[in-house]
Amino acid sequence: MLAAAMATIAEHGLDGLTMAGLGREVGMSSGHLLYYFRTKDELLLRTLEWSEGRLGAERSALLSRPATAAERLEAYVDLYVPDGPRDPHWTLWLEVWNRSQSADDDARARQAAIEGAWHRDLVALLAEGVSRGEFRAVDPDRYAARLRALLDGFSVHVAVGIPGTGRDQVLAHVREFIADSLLP
């Protein structure tokens, strides 16, 4: 069901994802889907969790490969930044973030867990790079918070297609920022 929801988002955007349409796609009634998900918000959050699980496995593989901390940081950034406008993962993230204003505590905690995984991985990578002398002596947690804010801001621009902020331009800006602020 979650893979079908993500495929629908990729093909038709969020407007194309309806409980009735998803039900037809997976051979269930919309009522049956509502039994499992209660609301469209829950469906979106579970789909995001599923997608993040896949990205988390990919991120773990990238971060554990034999490479310098700088090379792995570049891979982390490459994975983080959307592929382009209407990137389905980022489209879903943006919708879940938007709906989080009225989300219950459980949903907000689940979103925070997703954010926390990205943050912890980045902090660990930065700490490793600092300890090996590959990066300047920065506070890994503070630097990670700032870098992720930069990545989030640029990624939103890429995902919504703001002119002049395509993926290649964003990656160049981020590389420059890292070179200026982190590399010795």
Residue-by-residue pLDDT tens, the chain, 184 positions: 667 666 766 666 666 666 666 666 666 666 666 666 677 778 788 888 988 999 999 999 999 999 999 999 999 999 999 999 988 889 888 888 888 888 889 989 999 999 999 999 999 999 999 999 999 999 999 999 999 999 999 999 999 999 989 999 999 999 999 999 999 9
CB contact set of 128 (below 8 Å; sequence gap of 6+): 69
Give the Cα separation of 5 and 22 in Å (integer).
7
Return the sign of the alpha-carbon dihedral for residues 134, 135, 139, 145: negative
Give the Cα separation of 169 and 47 in Å (integer).
29
**φ, ψ (nearest 5 deg) of residue 13:** 75, 180
Q: How many Cβ atoms from other residues are within 10 Å of residue 29's Cβ?
A: 12
Give the Cα separation of 3 and 26 in Å (integer).
10
